[in-house]
A and B are shown apart, each in its own frame.
Chain A
C-alpha cells in the first residue's frame, strides 16, 4: 500500500523527498564501503529477491494470508545500508513500471518504507541482539520484534505526515487508531514471515546473514599429529 500523488501537501512531499535523497545518498556511500564493487550486483539481485518475495502469499493465523514487506528481513540479511538501497529500488520500480505509488510521492514512500522501516527496525534488532542471549533463538526473537514494530511504526509515521501535510479537519486520533490497529495485525504477519524466512536461511547459509555475524565463532586453528587426509576412505 503506497501513498499516491496528491495525498500530502507539496511542502510535506518536498520535505520527505529531501530526507529520502539525503538518506539514500548516505546509504550509497555506506553500502559501497560494505560491499565495494560488489554493491551493484549483490544489491540488484537482493532487490530482485525482495520484489519476488513480495509476491508470495503466506498463510497467517485464522485463514488469512499476507505478503512480506521485507524491510527488516532485508536489513538483517544484507545489512541496513544495502537494505535501504534495495527497498528504494523496489519502490522506484513499482512507481515507474506499475504506477504503484505516485511519482511526486516517491520521496514519501521511500521515507516510510525504506528509511523509517529499515532504520527503526534494524535499530530495534541491534538493541535486542545486544540484550538477548547470543543464540539462534535470541536472534530470531529480535528479528521478529523488529519486524513486528517496523510495520506500525511506518504506519504511524504516515499518520504524523498526514497530520502535518494532510487534510484538515479529520479526527487524527481516529486515523491513528485505525491505521495503528490494522498495521499491528499486518505486523504480526510480517514478524511470522520474517522468522520463517530467516530461520530457513540460518539453517543452510548462516554466513550469509549479516545480522548473525556475532553468532559465528572463528574455528580455532587445529594442529594434527598425523597428516590430514590419511584416514579418508570415501
Chain B
C-alpha cells in the first residue's frame, strides 16, 4: 500500500490494452449490471436452472479470458461472498418440504435448489463485477458513473474519496508503523484504547485535510461545480461489444425458457 502508484482503491485494477480494457467505463457498467439482472431473473426451481448457470459461467469466463484476467484474481474476488456461502450451505438442511438423498443425507429438495441458486447467482455476479473492477481504473469508473447521471454532489464526494483514500490509508499505515516500532501489540482493553486514539486522530486529520482542500479550492475559484470537458462520443461498436455479455446471457435464459 505504501507504493506510490498502487494504493487501497486500485488494489483490484490491472492495467492492459485488451478490448475489455478499452471500452468506455459507463458502457461496461451498464453491461455488467444488465448481466447481473439476467442472472437474477433465472427461476431457481426450473429443471434447467443448473444448465443456465453453466451457460452464464461459460459466458463470463469467456469475457474474463478476452480481458486476460488471471484465474487467481477471479478466485480472490470470490472471497467476499464467503459469509453467504455458509448461509446457502445451511439452506438444504433447514428448509421445509420433500426430502431427497444426497450423499446419504436427507436434505430438502427446494432448499437444495434455492441454496444452489443463491450461490450460483452470487458467484456469477461477483465474477462479472470482478472483471469490471480488474479492467477499469477507479477514476474511469467515476467518469462512467457521472455519465450515467449520478447526482453531481455524489460524484464529487466519490471523486474526493477516490483521490484521498490512498492518502488517508497511507496515514493509517504510517501510524501503524509508528505504533509497532514502539512495541505495540493489540491486546485487550488497552489495545482498544490505543487503536481508538489512532482512528480518532485519523478522523481529525482527514476532516482538517478536507477543510484545507476546500479552502484551496475556493482560492482557485470553486463555486460548487466542477467543470469537466465535453464527454467523448461513444461509438455504437463499443455498445455492441460490451452488450455481448448480457445478450449472450439473455440468449442462455431464453433458450432455457423455450427448451426447458
Which A residues have a C-beta under 8 Å from some C-beta of B? 1-2, 4-7, 10, 13, 24-25, 28, 31-32, 36-49, 51-53, 55-60, 65, 68, 77-78, 85-86, 88-90, 92-93, 95-104, 167-171, 174, 192-193, 195-201, 203-205, 208
Asked if B153 is an interface residue, CB under 8 A from chain A, the answer is: yes
User: Given the complex, which residues of A lie within 8 Å of B83, measured CB to CB?
Assistant: 1
Chain A residues near B11: list those with CB within 8 A.
Answer: 98
Report if B202 contacts A (CB, 8 A): yes
Per-residue A-contact encoding for B157-198, CB less than 8 Å = 1, 0 else: 111111111011101100000000000001110011101111
Known: A49-B202, A56-B172. A39 touches B213 (CB 8 A): no
- Counting from the closest, the 9 A-B pairs by CB-CB distance are A44-B160, A196-B196, A200-B200, A6-B121, A45-B210, A40-B156, A5-B125, A99-B129, A4-B122
B 104-132 to A, binary, CB cutoff 8 A, 1 in contact else 0: 00001011001001100110111001101
- Beyond A6-B39, A7-B84, A174-B94, is A40–B199 a contact (Cβ under 8 Å)? no
The answer to whether A6 and B40 have CB atoms under 8 Å apart is yes
The reply to whether B36 and A167 form a contact with Cβ atoms under 8 Å apart is: no
Dominant SS among interface residues on chain B: helix
How many chain B residues have a CB neighbour from A under 8 Å? 86
Contact at B210–A51, with CB atoms within 8 Å?
Answer: no
A200 B206 Cβ-Cβ under 8 A = no
- Chain B residue numbers with a CB within 8 Å of A7 are 84, 118, 121-122
Contact of B168 among A36, A45, A92 (CB under 8 A): A45
Q: A92-B145, A97-B138, A99-B133 are in contact. List 19 more A-B contacts (CB 8 A).
A: A13-B40, A25-B151, A28-B154, A37-B218, A40-B160, A46-B206, A47-B161, A49-B202, A51-B169, A52-B202, A85-B153, A89-B158, A93-B161, A99-B12, A104-B40, A167-B118, A171-B96, A196-B200, A197-B203
| Contact assessment for A4 and B81 in the assembled complex, using a CB-CB cutoff below 8 Å | yes
B65 to chain A, nearest CB (A): 18
Question: Inside 8 A of B130's CB, which chain A residues have their CB?
Answer: 99
Per-position 1/0 for B4-17, Cβ under 8 A of A: 00001101100000
Which A residues touch B121, using CB under 8 A? 4-7
- Residues facing A in B75-113 (CB within 8 A) are 77, 80-81, 83-84, 91, 94-97, 108, 110-111
CB 8 Å contact bits of B48-81 with A (1 = contact, 0 = none): 0000000000000000000000000000010011
17 residue pairs from A and B, CB less than 8 Å apart = A5-B36, A6-B125, A24-B154, A31-B153, A39-B156, A45-B164, A51-B168, A58-B192, A59-B191, A60-B192, A96-B133, A99-B130, A167-B91, A167-B118, A196-B192, A197-B196, A197-B199
Residues of B within 8 A of A (CB): 8-9, 11-12, 29, 32-33, 36-37, 39-41, 77, 80-81, 83-84, 91, 94-97, 108, 110-111, 114, 117-118, 121-122, 124-126, 129-130, 132-133, 138, 141, 145, 151, 153-154, 156-165, 167-169, 171-172, 186-188, 191-193, 195-204, 206-207, 209-211, 213-214, 217-218, 222-224
